[in-house]
Structure 1
Amino acid sequence: MKEIISRYKELGDFLKTRRSKISPAQVGLPESSRRRTPGLRREEVASLAGIGITWYTWLEQGKEIQVSAQVVESLSQALMLNEDETRHLYTLANQTSPMSIPPHNQVINPMLQRILDSLLLSPSMILDTRWNIIAWNKAAKTALINFENINIVDRNYIWLTFTNSNYKNMLDNWEHQAQGLIARFRAECGKYIEDPWVTEFVEKLRNESKEFDKWWSMHNVENERESYKIFNHPIAGKLTFEHSSFFVSDNMNLKLFINAPAPETDTENKMMKLMNVK
């Protein structure tokens, strides 16, 4: 019994120390001069992780609460934990540590962000192996969706494609694109099928989307390849892009998605107007 109590206390203390190291600016929250202690407040961590403030408070207080792998994943993202810290959190939460699973990455190399930013007219983003969107450029934020307004837990390319009505409505021939996306996601996550996150994420999305539930059951798979993507932007109208993806050279767990304006279309001119580029 003492061992169990010590584990929960250690978990609570670990969460408290991790949130104290994160500034509001790092997670897109406004700074406030009224903060009495450094770091994030409990309610801010709870909101970022998509869990209740009372429940999260109990966690920090060391109460005996069963913590699922999905909650561990959400907290590790919200607290921007590195690989070692994430594994430690899984251990404290008495969950199977995804030792063989490439870690999610919340902070990318500044050089990589500058490369993204240099693609002025090409909506681009960086995804991890779980298709979490961890970085993007201004073109993606302007032409596709403002990722800064999406809760960090929901900032997943698969999740947004099936649950975000604004993004769904912009995708031309959504059903075709969504089915292809499922096939590529299944091929990717098949490499890490032992990851508890995969099971919980798929189950959650199957409950959320009847289309995902239907198409996931088909077990279609395909590899990532160059393609065309068409978006119906509410202001610019039809935008046609050549879509390509590349592994990041110093981290093969990350992929760079680039949507370049297709030649022989007016997409480049429309993007210049959207981006106010002369």
Structure 2
Amino acid sequence: MPSPNDNRLGDYLRNRRTKLDPASFGFSGRRRTAGLRREEVAQRANISATWYTWLEQGRGGNASADVLDRIAKALMLTEVEREHLFLIGLGRPPEVRYRGNDAITPRLQRLLDAMAYSPAIVRTAAWDVVAWNRAAAAVLTDYGALPPEKRNVLRMIFCDPRVRAAQFDWDSVARFVVSAFRADATRAGAAAEVQPLVDELCRSSPEFATMWRDNEVQTHGDGVKRLHHPVLGPITMEYSAFAVDGRPDLQMIVYNPATAADLEQVRSLIGRVAAIAAE
């Protein structure tokens, strides 16, 4: 068990700087130890060499978030390494920096595709659907047939009559979507990035504008979704939301048919869609 005198921050900083190649940063000269010198890290971070030395020695007190962020950049830390630095230096993670990258990994797409009869999507903090599986295309929406700007869940809920008609209780669904969207955007640090979408929807949908002004927030979590499917008729699915590790801007939503009858309906529909595609 660590003792109160352990200098976790200093140990981590020292370890990280010894992993760096001085030549790649333009530093030269003979060295007794590997990596960057303390004054070189301080120079790259634009802080006092004395202050940085004290941090490594555990004598500098608590560094500010700004100082830790500059040190993270100086040491070329990855996002997970930067988060670890903040946790041991300040006892909390850094503020989220919105990445705005819609790309997903091939591995995540393979995970979606492995769920043959469970519709699954990946959406951004702006609720743009950026990945989906065959079951989602058959049961929810054929996202591939839409231009990217039309694959936004809020635009579909508030501006697409077909999607609106598919909801058993549109008002409850819409309020849930707005409140969860607000929470997701804030959590991902994307409030400024989603503002144009909010302004657009406030202009095009008085209902959205009213719900947005209510300032309600809630998590997506899990629950039950009921749909009036145009082919299957009434269908019920249980859904769960999952965070994508290392991507606070993405969530994966998986819908599982709630009963054996619902599963058989989904299985039948996917089979019909596949048969039509093969013709």
Q: Normalising by the residue count of structure 1, what TM-score does the alignment of the two structures yield?
A: 0.60
> What amino acid maps onto 2:270 in structure 1?
M
Tell me the number of residue pairs that the alignment of Structure 1 and Structure 2 aligns: 179
Deviation at 1:100, TM superposition (A): 6.1
Rg larger for: 2
Question: For 1:131, what is the secondary structure of its paired residue?
Answer: coil
**Using the alignment, how far apart are the partners of 1:112 and 1:206 within structure 2?**
34
Unaligned runs of 5+ in 1: 1-98
> Does residue 147 of structure 1 match 2:143?
yes
> Does residue 206 of structure 1 match 2:212?
no
| Structure 1 counterpart of 2:166 | 170
Alignment of 1:76-115 (within 5 A): 101-115=97-111
Percent of matched pairs sharing the same residue: 26
**Using the alignment, how far apart are the partners of 1:198 and 1:110 within structure 2?**
26
Contact 1:101 1:195 in 2 (8 A): no
Alignment of 1:1-278 (within 5 A): 101-191=97-187, 195-263=191-259, 266-276=261-271
Contact 2:125 2:181 in 1 (8 A): no
Contact 2:124 2:251 in 1 (8 A): yes
Moved over 3 A (4+): 191-196
Contact 2:125 2:190 in 1 (8 A): no
Change (3 A) 1:192 1:121: closer
**Using the alignment, how far apart are the partners of 2:100 and 2:193 within structure 1?**
11
For residues 156-189 of structure 1, the C-alpha deviation after alignment (integer angstroms, 9 at most, x for no partner) is 1122111122111111111111101111111222
Contact 2:156 2:163 in 1 (8 A): yes
Q: Normalising by the residue count of structure 2, what TM-score does the alignment of the two structures yield?
A: 0.60
Deviation at 1:258, TM superposition (A): 0.4
Question: For 1:224, what is the secondary structure of its paired residue?
Answer: coil
Change (3 A) 1:193 1:106: closer
Change (3 A) 1:260 1:104: same
